[in-house]
Amino acid sequence: GAVVSQHPSRVICKSGTSVKIECRSLDFQATTMFWYRQFPKQSLMLMATSNEGSKATYEQGVEKDKFLINHASLTLSTLTVTSAHPEDSSFYICSAIPTGFHTEAFFGQGTRLTVV
Amino acid sequence: DAKTTQPTSMDCAEGRAANLPCNHSTISGNEYVYWYRQIHSQGPQYIIHGLKNNETNEMASLIITEDRKSSTLILPHATLRDTAVYYCIVRAKAAGNKLTFGGGTRVLVKP
């Protein structure tokens, strides 16, 4: 199956700093990528839809100025958590849908963010 | 996207078939049924999807009722590595359409 790679897999940062998470589709192009957040023992919550070459679409309640999304190419989307606080600590997961025939989404391995 | 209802948890014996039900009574004609699973601390893994016909692949079988209001994912011979949360999602098959996750079913395969 198609491979989606996230980097880093784990990150610890100090409160007030910014953290960038990368999501790459390794063997396919993706016009659309999605960013999710998952708190312990909860389901995945969609944060935003990232579209190559245009602005991301954020879900209700997600602050676009805090969670900056850039989808500059067909294989890379980045999520930057700005001015991180302990409550931003979570498991962040991206997914990508290949353009063309395939329409199932493939997921990255996730990034565990801990803000101290 | 139509909502789905799944049991919160279920246990099954290693080597036996695991049958995971999902209700999606408000599914629309253009919506597919997708199944994903998430092993602890990993990203979700695609399993299978279907529209109205039963589907089978190397991982599982998907049985969709004739009225499409419910479906069952079958893991034919469950192994300990199949322990995961299984999500049933309905979604129209267009590339830009997002996947909305519900609570899923926590499956524990026991020796």
Q: What is the pLDDT of residue A58?
A: 95
Residue range B14-28: mean pLDDT, rounded: 95
Structure tokens at A13: 């940062």
d(CA A44, CA A55): 22
Closest CA to B19 of B99, B111, B105: B105
Q: What is the pLDDT of residue A102?
A: 58
A34 and B98 within 8 Å at the Cβ level: the answer is yes
Which amino acid is present at B51? L
Q: Which of A91, A106, A109 sits opposite B46 (nearest CB)?
A: A106
Q: What is the pLDDT of residue A76?
A: 94
Q: What is the pLDDT of residue A1?
A: 66
Q: What is the pLDDT of residue A32?
A: 87
Tens-digit pLDDT string for chain A (116 aa): 679 999 999 999 999 999 999 999 998 898 889 999 999 989 999 999 988 888 899 999 999 999 999 988 999 999 999 999 999 999 999 999 887 655 688 999 999 999 99
Percent of chain B with pLDDT over 90: 81
d(CA A69, CA A90): 17
Q: Which of B34, B93, B98 sits opposite A46 (nearest CB)?
A: B98
pLDDT in tens, B52-91: 999 999 999 999 999 999 999 999 999 999 999 999 999 8
B42 and A43 within 8 Å at the Cβ level: the answer is no
> 18-47 in A: which are within 8 Å (CB) of B?
31-32, 34, 36, 43-46
d(CA B54, CA A86): 46
Cα dist from B23 to A21, B93, B107, whole Å: 35, 19, 17
Q: What is the pLDDT of residue B97?
A: 75
Measured between beta carbons, the chain B residues lying within 8 angstroms of A105 are 46, 99
Q: Which residue of A has its CA nearest to B95?
A: A103
Q: What is the pLDDT of residue B94?
A: 65
Question: In angstroms, what separates the C-alpha of A110 from chain B's closest C-alpha?
Answer: 5
Q: What is the pLDDT of residue B96?
A: 65
Percent of chain B with pLDDT over 70: 95
Q: Which of A1, A6, A49 sits opposite B98 (nearest CB)?
A: A49
Question: In angstroms, what separates the C-alpha of A98 from chain B's closest C-alpha?
Answer: 8
B44 and A93 within 8 Å at the Cβ level: the answer is yes
